[in-house]
Protein backbone atom coordinates (compact mmCIF):
# COMPACT_ATOMS: atom_id res chain seq x y z
CA UNK A 1 0.00 0.00 0.00
CA UNK A 2 1.69 3.23 -1.10
CA UNK A 3 2.02 6.13 1.29
CA UNK A 4 -0.69 8.74 0.83
CA UNK A 5 0.40 12.34 0.08
CA UNK A 6 1.28 14.12 3.31
CA UNK A 7 1.37 10.86 5.29
CA UNK A 8 4.53 9.83 7.09
CA UNK A 9 5.88 6.38 6.10
CA UNK A 10 5.44 3.56 8.63
CA UNK A 11 8.52 1.39 9.00
CA UNK A 12 9.23 -2.13 10.17
CA UNK A 13 12.88 -2.80 11.04
CA UNK A 14 14.36 -6.31 10.99
CA UNK A 15 17.94 -6.74 12.17
CA UNK A 16 20.04 -9.76 11.26
CA UNK A 17 22.55 -9.25 14.05
CA UNK A 18 24.56 -12.33 13.05
CA UNK A 19 25.49 -10.56 9.82
CA UNK A 20 26.08 -7.20 11.50
CA UNK A 21 28.53 -8.91 13.83
CA UNK A 22 30.69 -9.89 10.85
CA UNK A 23 31.46 -6.22 10.30
CA UNK A 24 32.20 -5.75 14.01
CA UNK A 25 35.07 -8.25 14.22
CA UNK A 26 37.53 -5.38 13.82
CA UNK A 27 35.36 -2.44 14.98
CA UNK A 28 36.48 1.14 15.40
CA UNK A 29 33.98 1.43 18.23
CA UNK A 30 30.84 -0.13 19.69
CA UNK A 31 27.77 -0.77 17.57
CA UNK A 32 25.42 2.22 18.02
CA UNK A 33 21.87 1.14 17.17
CA UNK A 34 20.67 4.63 18.13
CA UNK A 35 22.34 6.02 15.01
CA UNK A 36 20.35 3.61 12.86
CA UNK A 37 17.06 4.46 14.54
CA UNK A 38 17.69 8.20 14.34
CA UNK A 39 18.32 7.92 10.61
CA UNK A 40 15.17 5.87 10.09
CA UNK A 41 13.04 8.16 12.26
CA UNK A 42 13.93 10.97 9.89
CA UNK A 43 12.07 8.98 7.23
CA UNK A 44 8.93 8.14 9.21
CA UNK A 45 7.41 6.29 12.18
CA UNK A 46 9.15 3.09 13.24
CA UNK A 47 6.35 0.67 14.19
CA UNK A 48 8.20 -2.66 14.47
CA UNK A 49 11.79 -3.24 15.70
CA UNK A 50 13.09 -6.81 15.91
CA UNK A 51 16.61 -8.27 16.08
CA UNK A 52 17.56 -11.93 15.53
CA UNK A 53 20.65 -13.72 16.87
CA UNK A 54 22.00 -16.30 19.28
CA UNK A 55 22.16 -13.76 22.09
CA UNK A 56 24.40 -15.96 24.22
CA UNK A 57 27.16 -14.90 21.80
CA UNK A 58 26.28 -11.19 21.90
CA UNK A 59 25.39 -10.47 25.51
CA UNK A 60 27.39 -7.23 25.48
CA UNK A 61 24.99 -5.76 22.91
CA UNK A 62 21.67 -6.78 24.42
CA UNK A 63 21.44 -3.92 26.93
CA UNK A 64 21.85 -1.29 24.22
CA UNK A 65 19.20 -2.98 22.05
CA UNK A 66 16.75 -3.31 24.94
CA UNK A 67 17.15 0.35 25.89
CA UNK A 68 16.13 1.33 22.36
CA UNK A 69 12.95 -0.76 22.42
CA UNK A 70 14.12 -3.54 20.09
CA UNK A 71 12.57 -6.96 20.58
CA UNK A 72 15.22 -9.69 20.73
CA UNK A 73 14.38 -13.05 19.15
CA UNK A 74 16.54 -15.90 20.39
CA UNK A 75 17.82 -18.14 17.58
CA UNK A 76 19.44 -21.54 18.32
CA UNK A 77 23.09 -21.95 17.50
CA UNK A 78 23.80 -23.07 13.92
CA UNK A 79 25.70 -26.09 15.27
CA UNK A 80 22.48 -27.28 16.93
CA UNK A 81 20.12 -26.87 13.98
CA UNK A 82 22.40 -27.30 10.98
CA UNK A 83 20.86 -24.28 9.23
CA UNK A 84 20.78 -20.50 9.47
CA UNK A 85 17.63 -20.15 11.59
CA UNK A 86 17.98 -16.37 11.93
CA UNK A 87 17.58 -15.82 8.19
CA UNK A 88 14.58 -18.16 7.96
CA UNK A 89 12.78 -16.64 10.94
CA UNK A 90 13.37 -13.09 9.72
CA UNK A 91 11.95 -13.88 6.26
CA UNK A 92 8.87 -15.59 7.71
CA UNK A 93 8.14 -12.72 10.11
CA UNK A 94 8.65 -10.04 7.46
CA UNK A 95 6.32 -11.70 4.95
CA UNK A 96 3.71 -12.38 7.63
CA UNK A 97 3.72 -8.69 8.58
CA UNK A 98 3.60 -7.64 4.92
CA UNK A 99 0.42 -9.65 4.31
CA UNK A 100 -1.31 -8.95 7.65
CA UNK A 101 -0.49 -5.25 8.24
CA UNK A 102 -1.24 -3.19 5.15
CA UNK A 103 -0.48 0.09 6.93
CA UNK A 104 3.23 -0.89 7.14
CA UNK A 105 4.54 0.49 3.85
CA UNK A 106 8.33 0.44 4.36
CA UNK A 107 10.54 -2.49 5.38
CA UNK A 108 14.10 -2.02 6.59
CA UNK A 109 16.41 -5.04 6.39
CA UNK A 110 19.49 -4.45 8.54
CA UNK A 111 21.87 -6.96 7.02
CA UNK A 112 24.28 -7.37 4.15
CA UNK A 113 23.50 -11.02 3.37
CA UNK A 114 22.63 -11.65 -0.29
CA UNK A 115 20.27 -14.45 0.86
CA UNK A 116 17.74 -11.71 1.65
CA UNK A 117 17.56 -10.62 -2.01
CA UNK A 118 14.49 -12.84 -2.72
CA UNK A 119 12.78 -11.35 0.35
CA UNK A 120 13.45 -7.85 -0.95
CA UNK A 121 12.05 -8.76 -4.36
CA UNK A 122 8.89 -10.26 -2.85
CA UNK A 123 8.30 -7.23 -0.60
CA UNK A 124 8.63 -4.93 -3.63
CA UNK A 125 6.18 -7.14 -5.56
CA UNK A 126 3.68 -6.47 -2.77
CA UNK A 127 4.10 -2.72 -3.17
CA UNK A 128 6.41 -2.12 -0.22
CA UNK A 129 9.38 0.25 -0.19
CA UNK A 130 12.52 -1.60 0.95
CA UNK A 131 15.53 0.02 2.63
CA UNK A 132 18.69 -1.96 3.26
CA UNK A 133 21.24 -1.07 5.90
CA UNK A 134 24.50 -2.85 6.61
CA UNK A 135 28.21 -2.75 7.30
CA UNK A 136 30.51 -2.21 4.35
CA UNK A 137 32.64 -5.21 5.32
CA UNK A 138 29.72 -7.65 5.35
CA UNK A 139 27.36 -6.33 2.65
CA UNK A 140 26.88 -8.10 -0.66
CA UNK A 141 26.40 -5.89 -3.75
CA UNK A 142 23.53 -8.20 -4.73
CA UNK A 143 21.49 -7.10 -1.72
CA UNK A 144 22.51 -3.44 -1.96
CA UNK A 145 21.44 -3.25 -5.60
CA UNK A 146 18.14 -5.07 -4.98
CA UNK A 147 16.86 -2.54 -2.41
CA UNK A 148 15.08 0.71 -3.24
CA UNK A 149 17.64 2.42 -1.02
CA UNK A 150 20.73 1.19 0.80
CA UNK A 151 22.48 2.91 3.72
CA UNK A 152 25.92 2.00 5.05
CA UNK A 153 26.37 2.12 8.80
CA UNK A 154 29.79 3.72 8.43
CA UNK A 155 28.21 6.62 6.54
CA UNK A 156 25.88 7.21 9.48
CA UNK A 157 28.94 7.64 11.69
CA UNK A 158 30.27 10.35 9.37
CA UNK A 159 26.89 12.11 9.24
CA UNK A 160 26.63 12.19 13.02
CA UNK A 161 30.09 13.75 13.33
CA UNK A 162 28.84 17.17 12.25
CA UNK A 163 31.16 20.11 12.90
CA UNK A 164 30.55 22.21 15.95
CA UNK A 165 28.74 25.49 15.19
CA UNK A 166 30.77 28.66 15.40
CA UNK A 167 28.19 30.36 17.59
CA UNK A 168 28.59 28.50 20.84
CA UNK A 169 25.94 29.28 23.45
CA UNK A 170 26.68 29.50 27.15
CA UNK A 171 23.34 28.09 28.38
CA UNK A 172 21.94 24.54 28.17
CA UNK A 173 20.01 25.24 24.96
CA UNK A 174 23.02 24.72 22.69
CA UNK A 175 22.51 20.97 22.23
CA UNK A 176 18.82 21.51 21.46
CA UNK A 177 19.63 24.09 18.79
CA UNK A 178 22.17 21.73 17.19
CA UNK A 179 19.59 18.93 17.26
CA UNK A 180 17.08 21.16 15.44
CA UNK A 181 19.70 22.11 12.82
CA UNK A 182 20.65 18.43 12.32
CA UNK A 183 16.98 17.55 11.86
CA UNK A 184 16.54 20.22 9.18
CA UNK A 185 19.61 18.94 7.31
CA UNK A 186 18.23 15.40 7.53
CA UNK A 187 14.91 16.46 6.01
CA UNK A 188 16.73 18.23 3.19
CA UNK A 189 18.69 15.02 2.61
CA UNK A 190 15.32 13.30 2.08
CA UNK A 191 14.65 15.77 -0.80
CA UNK A 192 11.71 17.45 0.94
CA UNK A 193 11.35 20.71 -0.95
CA UNK A 194 9.22 22.67 1.54
CA UNK A 195 10.10 22.11 5.19
CA UNK A 196 7.49 23.57 7.52
CA UNK A 197 8.21 24.20 11.18
CA UNK A 198 5.57 21.61 12.12
CA UNK A 199 7.39 18.94 10.08
CA UNK A 200 10.64 19.77 11.87
CA UNK A 201 8.99 19.38 15.25
CA UNK A 202 7.23 16.12 14.31
CA UNK A 203 10.51 14.62 13.10
CA UNK A 204 12.31 15.88 16.18
CA UNK A 205 9.71 14.30 18.47
CA UNK A 206 10.11 10.95 16.70
CA UNK A 207 13.85 11.06 17.28
CA UNK A 208 13.63 12.39 20.85
CA UNK A 209 10.14 11.75 22.30
CA UNK A 210 11.05 13.50 25.56
CA UNK A 211 12.01 16.72 23.79
CA UNK A 212 10.14 19.82 25.00
CA UNK A 213 10.88 23.41 24.05
CA UNK A 214 8.98 24.51 27.17
CA UNK A 215 11.53 22.75 29.38
CA UNK A 216 14.22 24.89 27.71
CA UNK A 217 12.40 28.12 28.56
CA UNK A 218 10.76 28.75 25.16
CA UNK A 219 7.13 29.80 24.93
CA UNK A 220 6.73 28.07 21.55
CA UNK A 221 8.66 26.04 19.00
CA UNK A 222 8.79 29.12 16.76
CA UNK A 223 10.81 30.95 19.40
CA UNK A 224 13.32 28.11 19.42
CA UNK A 225 13.61 28.30 15.61
CA UNK A 226 14.12 32.06 15.78
CA UNK A 227 16.85 31.56 18.38
CA UNK A 228 18.52 28.99 16.10
CA UNK A 229 18.42 31.49 13.24
CA UNK A 230 20.04 34.16 15.41
CA UNK A 231 22.76 31.63 16.28
CA UNK A 232 23.43 31.15 12.56
CA UNK A 233 22.31 27.50 12.49
CA UNK A 234 19.37 27.74 10.10
CA UNK A 235 17.34 30.14 7.96
CA UNK A 236 13.63 31.02 8.31
CA UNK A 237 11.20 32.45 5.80
CA UNK A 238 7.49 33.16 6.21
CA UNK A 239 4.99 31.00 4.31
CA UNK A 240 2.55 33.47 2.77
CA UNK A 241 -0.35 30.99 2.64
CA UNK A 242 -0.21 29.54 6.15
CA UNK A 243 1.71 32.28 7.93
CA UNK A 244 4.04 29.68 9.49
CA UNK A 245 7.80 29.39 9.21
CA UNK A 246 9.57 27.62 6.38
CA UNK A 247 12.93 26.29 7.50
CA UNK A 248 16.17 25.63 5.61
CA UNK A 249 19.74 24.92 6.66
CA UNK A 250 22.60 27.36 6.40
CA UNK A 251 24.92 26.63 3.47
CA UNK A 252 28.47 27.91 3.67
CA UNK A 253 29.28 30.92 1.51
CA UNK A 254 32.08 29.13 -0.42
CA UNK A 255 29.68 26.33 -1.37
CA UNK A 256 27.09 28.84 -2.58
CA UNK A 257 29.70 30.62 -4.69
CA UNK A 258 30.82 27.33 -6.24
CA UNK A 259 27.24 26.44 -7.16
CA UNK A 260 26.66 29.88 -8.67
CA UNK A 261 29.89 29.58 -10.65
CA UNK A 262 28.84 26.19 -12.02
CA UNK A 263 25.42 27.52 -13.00
CA UNK A 264 27.00 30.39 -14.97
CA UNK A 265 29.63 28.36 -16.79
CA UNK A 266 32.43 29.03 -14.31
CA UNK A 267 32.11 32.83 -14.20
CA UNK A 268 32.16 34.14 -10.61
CA UNK A 269 28.89 35.71 -9.54
CA UNK A 270 28.70 38.46 -6.90
CA UNK A 271 26.41 38.20 -3.84
CA UNK A 272 23.57 39.93 -5.69
CA UNK A 273 23.26 36.89 -7.95
CA UNK A 274 24.16 38.67 -11.22
CA UNK A 275 27.04 37.82 -13.49
CA UNK A 276 30.10 40.03 -13.06
CA UNK A 277 29.86 42.66 -15.86
CA UNK A 278 33.63 42.97 -16.13
CA UNK A 279 33.99 39.22 -16.67
CA UNK A 280 31.03 39.17 -19.04
CA UNK A 281 32.70 41.87 -21.17
CA UNK A 282 35.53 39.47 -21.98
CA UNK A 283 39.32 39.96 -21.87
CA UNK A 284 40.65 43.50 -21.79
CA UNK A 285 43.89 44.85 -23.30
CA UNK A 286 46.94 44.83 -21.06
CA UNK A 287 47.10 48.62 -21.09
CA UNK A 288 43.68 48.95 -19.52
CA UNK A 289 42.96 48.29 -15.87
CA UNK A 290 39.22 48.56 -15.56
CA UNK A 291 37.47 46.82 -12.65
CA UNK A 292 33.92 45.73 -12.10
CA UNK A 293 32.12 48.44 -10.07
CA UNK A 294 30.22 45.78 -8.12
CA UNK A 295 32.78 43.12 -7.22
CA UNK A 296 36.01 45.05 -7.91
CA UNK A 297 37.29 42.18 -10.06
CA UNK A 298 39.78 42.92 -12.83
CA UNK A 299 39.03 40.87 -15.98
CA UNK A 300 41.63 38.44 -17.17
CA UNK A 301 44.13 39.64 -19.76
CA UNK A 302 44.76 37.74 -22.99
CA UNK A 303 47.80 35.50 -22.95
Which CATH fold would you assign to the domain 174-249?
Arc Repressor Mutant, subunit A (1.10.10)
- The pLDDT score that the predictor gives to residue 82 is 47
Mean pLDDT of successive 10-residue stretches along the chain, which has 303 residues: 65 92 63 89 92 89 92 77 71 95 94 93 95 88 91 73 43 80 89 87 82 82 90 87 84 46 49 48 49 52 49
- The pLDDT score that the predictor gives to residue 28 is 45
- The pLDDT score that the predictor gives to residue 98 is 95
- The pLDDT score that the predictor gives to residue 271 is 44
Which CATH fold would you assign to the domain 10-160?
Rossmann fold (3.40.50)
Domain boundaries, the chain: 10-160, 174-249
- The pLDDT score that the predictor gives to residue 156 is 81
DSSP state letters, 80-109: HHSS-HHHHHHHHHHHHHHHH-TT--EEEE
- The pLDDT score that the predictor gives to residue 155 is 81
- The pLDDT score that the predictor gives to residue 25 is 59
| Strands of the 106-110 sheet, one edge to the other | 71-74, 45-53, 10-16, 106-110, 129-134, 149-152
* In contact, 11 and 107? CB cutoff 8 Å: yes
Burial (CB count within 10 angstroms: exposed 0-12, middle 13-18, buried 19+), residue 273: exposed
DSSP state letters, 176-229: HHHHHHHHHHHHHHTT-S--BHHHHHHHHHHH-TT--TGGGT-SSHHHHHHHHH
Amino acid sequence: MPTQPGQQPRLAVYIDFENIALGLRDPGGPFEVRRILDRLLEKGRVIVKVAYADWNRFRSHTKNLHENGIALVEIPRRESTGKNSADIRLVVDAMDLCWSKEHIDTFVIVSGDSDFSPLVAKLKENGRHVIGLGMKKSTSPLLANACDEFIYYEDLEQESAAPEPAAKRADGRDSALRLVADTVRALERENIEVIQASLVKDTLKRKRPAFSEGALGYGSFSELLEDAQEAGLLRLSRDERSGTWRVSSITSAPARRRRRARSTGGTPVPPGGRRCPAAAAGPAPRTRSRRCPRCARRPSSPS
